[in-house]
Amino acid sequence: MKRAGDGTDRRNLSLLLLLCLSSPDISFSGTSENIITMMLLASSAIVAYVLLLAPLTIALSVWDGVIGSDQRMALHRYASKAGLEHKSFSRPLDQSNNNGNNIIERTLDAILTEIESKDNNIHGKQQYVEYWTRQEWRHIEAHSDVDEALAKMHDQNPSLLVDDELESKFSATYSNTHGFRFPSNGHVLYLQVGSEVKGPTCVFPSRSSGGDLLQSNEHHEKACATEGDNHQDNGDIKLVTVPAVSGRLLRFDGQDLHAVPRPHDLWMLPFVKGGAEYKPEEVWGRSVILFNVWPGEEDPPLNVSLDSNEGGEGEAHTNELCNAFSEWNEVNVVQNTQIEVPDTQESNQSVKVWLLGNERRRGYPMRTANLLSPAHGGRESLRKALSEKSLVTELLLRQQ
C-alpha cells in the first residue's frame, strides 16, 4: 500500500539522483554542451542532498474555528439522537440539492471540500466517508481504524482470505504487513467539550499497532519502506496529544494508532479507583463526530450502511455548514522540549499504553505496550501534555 507524497518516495528520488551523478559513464569536457550538462547535474546533486537530509513531516493537521457555535449545537442535537451506528455516504455531494443527506453528511462533505480546495491532487475525487458519533468521554484504547467487517471475516476464516489477493483488490488501502485494510485519512470533529474534560486524542504517527510501538527500529523501518510510508528516523516513538476543543478538527493518516485515555494520566497509573462520571454533559460531555475517508476507486468498508439518504430535521439544513478554509486557524504542534517542566523526575519512568482488540489487531500478545516516558521532563512532561486544554504537543516516548 502506498501513500502519495510520502517520505520514502522522496528518499528514493534523492538516492536516484545521487546514483546518476556517480555513474562512471558521465564525463565532462570543455564544450559548452557538457558545461551545461555539468551545471544541471550539480543542481540535481543539491536537490538530492536537500531531499535526503530534510526532516520528514508528520501527516497530521489540526484546525480551530472550523464550524460555528450554532452549527455545532445543531450537529450535537442530531448526533445525540442518531445513535452509535457506523454509516457512510458517497461524495462529493451536490450542496445545492439536499438529496436526503442529513446534517452530519452535508457538514462533513463541506469540510472535506474546503480541505480539498487547497489540494488539486484530491479535489473533486470520488470518496466514501464512514462516520459515527460519541457524546461521552470514554477510555478508548489505542487502535487504528480498519475495515471492521473484513477484519472479522479474516479472523473467522483466515484460509479464505489471501493477503496477495486482498492487496491486489485493495491496492490503495490494504497493508500486507499488518493484514488489515486502513482508510486514507481519519478525522475527529469536536462539537462540545465539558468543563472538566481532559480527554485528548493521542496519535502515534506512522505506527499502526501495539507491536509497532515495541518492535526494533530497524524492523520498523524495513516494514515502512515496504509499505511506502513515513518512518521514524530513530528509535523514539512519536506521540502527538490533541486536546478536545469545541470547533476543532483533527486530521491524521488513516493507518495511525490513536487513543483517548480516561483518566487522562491512565497510562501512568497502577490502577483506577471507582467509576467514571458522564453527567451532566456540560461538565463531563465530550461530543465528537469521527469520520474516515476511503478512496472511491475501491469498495467502501464492508457491511456499513451506504447512502441511506435518511434526511433529517429542519435544523439540519442551515446555509453555513462550515467556515471557509481561509477562516480556519491552523494549530501548531509544539515539541515538548520547548515546554518548561519541573527538574525533579519520578524514579518510575514507565508508560503503559492500553491496546484495543484481539492479538492480531494489537500485533502483540499482551494488552498493554510498556514504554518509557520522554527523556525531557519524564512522566511529568507527558502528564502535562495530556492535561492541556488547547496546546497540541509532540513528545518522544522511548522503548524499554
Q: Reduced to 3 states, what is the DSSP secondary structure of residue 107?
A: helix
Output 252 or 30, whichever has higher pLDDT: 252
Q: What does the buried/exposed string (b/e) look like for 112-122 if buried means 16 or more CB atoms within 10 Å of the residue's CB?
A: bbbbbeeeeeb
Q: Tell me how far apart the alpha carbons of residues 242 and 63 are, in angstroms, rounded to a whole number.
A: 11
Q: Tell me how far apart the alpha carbons of residues 358 and 343 are, in angstroms, rounded to a whole number.
A: 40
How sure is the predictor about 313, in pLDDT bands with cuts at 50, 70 and 90?
low
Which pLDDT belongs to residue 312? 58
Q: Say if residue 53 is exposed, middle or buried (CB neighbours under 10 Å; 0-12, 13-18, 19+).
A: exposed
Q: Tell me how far apart the alpha carbons of residues 397 and 257 are, in angstroms, rounded to a whole number.
A: 14
Which pLDDT belongs to residue 82? 85
Give the DSSP letter of residue 93: -
Which pLDDT belongs to residue 17? 44
Output 90 or 124, whichever has higher pLDDT: 90
Angstrom CA distances, 82 to 78, 86, 118, stand at 6, 10, 32
Q: What cell numbers appear for 199 in the block?
A: 480527554
Query: Could you tell me the residue ranges of all domains in the chain?
Result: 7-53, 60-399
Q: Tell me how far apart the alpha carbons of residues 74 and 70 are, in angstroms, rounded to a whole number.
A: 6
The string of pLDDT tens digits covering residues 198-235 is 999 999 999 999 999 998 644 445 445 544 444 444 67
Give the DSSP letter of residue 57: P
Report the candidate in 9, 8, 59, 35 with the shortest Cα–Cα distance to residue 250: 59
Which pLDDT belongs to residue 29? 52
Which pLDDT belongs to residue 125? 86
Q: What cell numbers appear for 114 in the block?
A: 474546503
DSSP alpha helix (H) spans, the chain: 7-21, 32-53, 69-82, 103-116, 148-156, 163-169, 210-214, 217-227, 281-284, 359-362, 378-386
How sure is the predictor about 28, in pLDDT bands with cuts at 50, 70 and 90?
very low
Asked if the model's pLDDT at residue 91 lies above 90, the reply is yes
Which pLDDT belongs to residue 276? 87
Average pLDDT, the chain: 83
The string of pLDDT tens digits covering residues 320-340 is 899 999 999 999 999 987 777
Which pLDDT belongs to residue 164? 87
Can you spell out the DSSP letters for 138-175? --EEEE----HHHHHHHHH-GGG--HHHHHHHTTTTEE
Q: Rg for the chain (alpha carbons), in Å? A: 23
Strand partners, 257: 204
Strand partners, 335: 394
Contacting residues for 304 by C-beta, under 8 A, at least 6 apart: 86, 87, 88, 130, 149
Q: Tell me how far apart the alpha carbons of residues 352 and 363 are, in angstroms, rounded to a whole number.
A: 16
Q: Say if residue 210 is exposed, middle or buried (CB neighbours under 10 Å; 0-12, 13-18, 19+).
A: buried
Lowest mean pLDDT: which of 3-17, 75-89, 291-305? 3-17
Give the DSSP letter of residue 325: G
Phi, psi of 240 (to 5 degrees): -115, 125
Quote the Cα angle for 212-213-216, to 5°. Answer: 75
